[in-house]
């Protein structure tokens, strides 16, 4: 995992995205690290906000485990804001944004119960 994080850092420094484990890390917006994960649900109709929020928390926890495991990543993000995103995989056709969180504010991108 550490080697994968080091590789991701090289991509991030160039403003590109890179997947580490279940997360995609991106730095396309200046001063922002985007951390994206995908819902474990396979049926869009079954999604509920409570579960989406739980999955968003899991994404955050996984990212912060990476940060603690990598001093280089910790140093890279120290002056940047972090945006967490949860997407739904539309059966390989594309990804649908469900929700995102930046500065502790959750924004819903999809109409979910």
Residue 43 CA from chain centroid, whole number = 20
Q: Is the pTM of this model over 0.75?
A: yes
Q: pLDDT tens digits, residue range 50-75?
A: 999 999 999 999 999 999 999 999 99
Whether pLDDT at 93 is above 80: no
pLDDT grade for 44, boundaries at 50, 70 and 90: confident
All structural domains of the chain with their residue ranges: 2-108
State whether residue 48 is helix, strand or coil.
coil
103: left (phi over 0), alpha (psi -120 to 50) or beta: left
Residue 71's alpha-carbon distances to 22, 32, 78, 103, in angstroms, are 20, 18, 11, 22
């Amino acid at each position: 995992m550490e080697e994968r994080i080091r590789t991701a850092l090289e991509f991030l420094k160039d403003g590109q995205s890179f997947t580490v484990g279940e997360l995609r890390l991106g730095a396309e917006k200046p001063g922002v690290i985007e951390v994206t994960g995908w819902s474990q649900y396979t049926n869009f109709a079954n999604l509920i906000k409570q579960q989406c929020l739980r999955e968003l928390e899991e994404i955050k926890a996984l990212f912060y485990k990476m940060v603690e495991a990598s001093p280089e990543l910790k140093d890279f993000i120290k002056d940047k804001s972090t945006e967490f995103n949860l997407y739904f995989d539309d059966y390989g056709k594309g990804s649908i944004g469900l929700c995102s969180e930046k500065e502790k504010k959750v924004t819903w991108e999809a109409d979910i119960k």
